[in-house]
Structure 1
């Protein structure tokens, strides 16, 4: 029994205005070959299939075409759960139709644990795997808000709700395993932020809750789970060093901060001696390169890349002391006869920091909504002791709007 664990595809994702459909098509072609070449029996996609709650027709086409293809490659089952970027109702809409392809979708958490516990059978009808297909658990799904709650009260109720949900689903999975009378593995999914999880600058991972609220300790998950397939964090990683509690990470770099990461998917193989896990590296389909330094360093690196025939998309961070009023013109000239393209330029030279209070050259492209709110706090001279509580209240409002289907953040500031 071999399971391939992946997550955080973010189909339809753009990067500073550039569409990435060709990259996604190349990845899904590669994933189909990986399923075939590795003899995968079950594919598990742990959330954030799409980048927005209203994916484009092209993104949907890539998704459905891949699901049909996976069914023809010897992969007996596909399990898909929603992430915080997905629309639960959109994913759920074709679920009954997709069952004909042995594609099992859980978009919305159910009041009945039975709906999230799947008994998967082989070609002869023999049970071979139990999957606790738990989707992203939104605040409103697991917690009742009450007037006058403190942040500590909210955190406790959130974690209790997550713990109770997993406990109920896992208990039913164990009960089904006992009824079947065979020691088949139990796999569970999750789309959340595990305590201690690693992120990197520029990876765009959206905080699901305010501050550390909702960061889940691994002890929340019942011990009967043989492999826990997690999504949400883009860095491939183990949770608390466990071989069997993992984030597969995103298959494509979501931003320039992830450009140097080796992306991968996880293959978990169950045998007589338990489960073994190995990583299968994902190729780079579109090179991203972040270049930072003074002009000599930047121009030298562009020349080096050009001599290699690079087709990279570039983020340039100028850190020199010299004031370059024609920085963008220089960059356009440097890449003019190459296949490279500069997607973003950021100027952080020392003199800018000295003159930062004037903000003459600062644009909204350099800020996210949190930065703007911080500027408002400073402009209105809010006392320091009042700022943490005010900022926490602001973040709650933003997150509640997102939970109600609000628009995603500006392009280039992707969130998981």
Structure 2
């Protein structure tokens, strides 16, 4: 069985305000070329297909056209799940008219996680697709009020999926999670809304699976074991990913379930780069660059209209700072912006400051429930 594992496309995303539409077109063309060249039995997209729950129409159209082209030109099956950036309901609706024998599309949770069953010359392969879900939705789905963290959610999903794997079948699990010990990037959102909650899951939760195709973290890597892998995102979504290679993972599974993985490099249309130096030095460069650029000026005094002047050579310069400002104050501001991704922590910090005592567990639960209600209302809107 041959699997092409991808994840975290984040269609519709911008990079510091710059459109990535053409960059995504280049990536999708390379995925199609890999399918044509390597003829995988199944294409896996392990969540975060879109960058937000209400993606722009251009992103929906881009993905729809891709699926239509792949379906019309090859026999590759498709398995995809909702990630934490996606709308579970929207992803689920994409599977309504799909061929159930050649595709598995999973958005909302299901208490009975039935796999897609494929056959090769060695027998059946069961592919379980486990979409991302927050704890509050999992408690309702599995009628288990004890679910309190992502590890609990995934344990319920795995237990349900395992019940439906035929005896003797090789087992592939597709999931969107943060596995303990993996390396992160700045563009990833937390996977729990619990105050002070632990968002990681142990690799041991996947015991019994022959290959685990993970999404969420943007760096390609194995974690816990060689068969538990992130394919990584196909594009860099932060300057901390400068110089990191991007790839898809081609997985060849033998009769006994052992695997051989091959990284298929993705060549981005533009790289992310950081330029450092005095303004005059940067403007004196013999040629510019079309890359996505962050500029750090080492001038001691403020320069006149630096970004406008730099963009004549670096039209996609999207960020500018002065080295002297790279101080504790600047880092504090960045940390504050990052904290907005976890509103429960901001609320807890505010209440602790005002009352001079920490938020109680009961108050924390009320905050989490209120944020969950807001999230549901946002998706329904």
TM-score by length of 2: 0.83
CA distance 1:351–1:368, shift in 2 (3 Å):
closer
1:228-277 Cα offsets, whole Å, 9 max, x none, are: 0010111111112x111011111111122223210111111012462111
Q: Which position in structure 2 is the counterpart of 1:322?
A: 300
- Native 8 Å contact 1:208 1:399 kept in 2: no
Q: Which position in structure 1 is the counterpart of 2:125?
A: 129
Write out aligned runs for 1:37-52 (5 A).
37-52=37-52
- Native 8 Å contact 2:250 2:262 kept in 1: yes
SS at match of 1:66: helix
Q: Does 1:234 align with 2:224?
A: no
Q: Does 1:107 align with 2:98?
A: no
For 1:16 and 1:187, how far apart are their aligned partners in 2? 36
Q: Does 1:139 align with 2:131?
A: no
Q: Which position in structure 2 is the counterpart of 1:163?
A: 155
- Native 8 Å contact 2:339 2:346 kept in 1: no
Q: What is the Cα deviation at residue 106 of structure 1?
A: 0.8
Q: Does 1:94 align with 2:76?
A: no
For 1:301 and 1:185, how far apart are their aligned partners in 2? 56
For 1:351 and 1:75, how far apart are their aligned partners in 2? 52
Total equivalences in the alignment: 372
- Native 8 Å contact 2:248 2:265 kept in 1: yes
Q: What is the Cα deviation at residue 121 of structure 1?
A: 4.2
Q: Which position in structure 1 is the counterpart of 2:200?
A: 215
Q: Which position in structure 2 is the counterpart of 1:27?
A: 27
Unaligned 5+ segments in structure 1 are 408-416
CA distance 1:163–1:290, shift in 2 (3 Å):
same
Q: Does 1:332 align with 2:328?
A: no
Q: Does 1:197 align with 2:182?
A: yes
Q: Which position in structure 1 is the counterpart of 2:340?
A: 369
1:129-152 Cα offsets, whole Å, 9 max, x none, are: 2101111132123236xxxx9xxx
CA-atom RMSD in angstroms: 3.8
Unaligned 5+ segments in structure 2 are none
1:176-226 Cα offsets, whole Å, 9 max, x none, are: 2x2xxxx542111111111122113x33443434445231011112x3211
TM-score by length of 1: 0.76
